[in-house]
Structure formats: structure tokens, C-alpha cells
Amino acid sequence: MKLTSMRTNLKPCFLRIGRVGMPALGLLLFASEASARDDLGPGGVTGMLLALVIGLGLGVAWGLGQRAQLRRKQRELDERVAELHQKSGQLFSLQQKKSELLDQMQRQTEEFARLAHEDALTGLPNGRSFDEAYAHNFSRSKRHGQPLSLMLLNLDKFSQVNDDWSHAAGDRVLSEVGRLLRSVCRTSDFPSRLGGDLFAIILTDTDEEGAWRLSQRLHAAFAGCRNWHEGDLGPNYISFSAGLVTLGDEDMAPVQLRHRADRALYLAKHAGGARTSLG
């Protein structure tokens, strides 16, 4: 009776131990059943205690193994998270570099577009820009019946600057001409360098009288300029000849108005220069 009662009281204990480790639970249940069939009295109790000790040891070992496995899994997870963080940082860095490269490409594209339409020496629009603006404004003026004037300018004695001084001095003169044109022309005007020492001004919504007044202001600005080759050439050394024309009914295409301006410029040159001729 005592042995049976002891077995009965130990079973809940075995079940609680089983929660510690499934291997220990199986072994304890096996030992309990074996003790139930044991008629040796104290020997059965000894077997049960031995099974209990073994079960506890196995349960502890199993629990420690589980904890070690969990720690290993946690380390692997931490390493994976750290790796993902690193890759995320690398991806962010690559995105930044990509954005910087795109911005750089955009700036270069804009710079190339600007250089394609701008004269590097004077900062004025170049011949390509002039052709585009001239064709556009000619068509607009013909379509809407608005006045349009065109002035072609050629520097006087410019070849002497290159011959007597240097090509570097000539470049400084051209740069100063660009500055003068920008300072005298209105915001609605379109001054440009066509090449060499030939310049052009498109005067939109401007009749012959208004264009003539602008040409006279330019002559005065050239005569009063003290910056020719850093002042070495004298105030009146650089002048220009100009041919000035205004759009008329006979001008059916841009080339016709341009031809009249070329002819007027030729007349100004052969009349002694430093003047504007109307065409």
C-alpha cells in the first residue's frame, strides 16, 4: 500500500519534470510502470529514484541544449539583421551616388546646351542662336504685322589690333564689345556675335527710328569706352560700321532682309566707317 501510494504521489511530479524535457518524461513514465510491476519493495523505490535522477539530468541537459540552440538562432538572426542593415546602407549610398550622377549629368547637359548657343569669348548668343531667333522673330513679325529691325555691326581697324598688339589684345577687345552691347541694348533686343568681328542685333517691335537711336547710343558708348586693351588703345581707337534695315513688305523671307543689311553695312564701311547706313 505504501509503495502504491508513493507511486501515485510521484506521478504529478514526473509530469512537471516532463515539462522540463520530453526525453526525461518518457524515461520517468517508463520507470514508474516498471516500479508498479516490481515486487521487491525497497528495490523498486531505489529504481524509481535512480530514474528520477537520470530524468532530471537528461531534462536539464535537454533544456541547456535548447537554450544553446536558441542563442545560436538569435546570433544568426542578429547577424542576418546586421547584414540587412549593412546592405540597406549600401543601397542608400548607391541611391545617393546615382542621384548625384544624374544631377551632374543634368548640369552637364544644360552646360553643353548653353555652350552650343553661346559665344565663349563675349558671352553673347552665337551664330546658331542668332539664326534661330532671327527666323522666329521674322515669322512672328510677318504674321502679326509687327515692326522688326536688324542691325549688322563690323568693327573698324580690328585687324590692326591683332597685327599691332596681339591676338590676346584682340580677344579683350571682342570681350569688351560684348559687354558694351549688353549694356546698351534693351532686354527685348537680341545682340549676338556671328563670328570674328561681326555682330548682329535683332530689334523686335522696333521701327527704323527706334533702331537708329539705338545705333547712335552704341556709337557714343564705343567712343567713350576707356577699356580697350586695358586703356592702351585710346578712347577712339575702336569704332564700328553698321548696316541697319527694317522689315518691309518686299521682304518675303529672312534672307532678303539679311541681304539688305549686308549691303547697308558694305556702304557704311566704304564711306569711311564709324557710322550706320540705312538699307
Q: What is the pTM of this model?
A: 0.65
Q: Which helix (H) or strand (E) holds 189?
A: strand 189-195
Q: What is the CATH topology of the domain spanning 127-278?
A: Alpha-Beta Plaits (3.30.70)
pLDDT at 115 over 50: yes
Structure letter (DSSP) for residue 157: S
Confidence of residue 97 (pLDDT cuts 50, 70, 90): confident
Over the stretch 218-249, which tens digit does the pLDDT of each residue have? 999 999 888 776 666 665 679 999 999 999 99
1: pLDDT strictly greater than 60 = no
126 near 226, Cβ under 8 Å? no
Spatial contact of 246 and 211, defined as CB atoms under 8 Å apart: yes
Sheet of 189-195: strands edge to edge?
A: 189-195, 198-204, 148-156, 239-246, 276-278
pLDDT tens digits along 180-196: 999 999 999 999 999 99
Mean pLDDT of 254-266: 98
User: pLDDT value at position 51?
Assistant: 63
Q: Which residues have C-beta within 8 Å of that of residue 33, sequence separation ≥ 6? A: none
pLDDT over threshold 80, residue 45? no
How is the chain split into domains, by residue range?
1-117, 127-278
**Other beta carbons within 10 Å of 171:** 15
| pLDDT for 58 | 66
For 85-95, the pLDDT digits (tens) are: 787 778 788 78
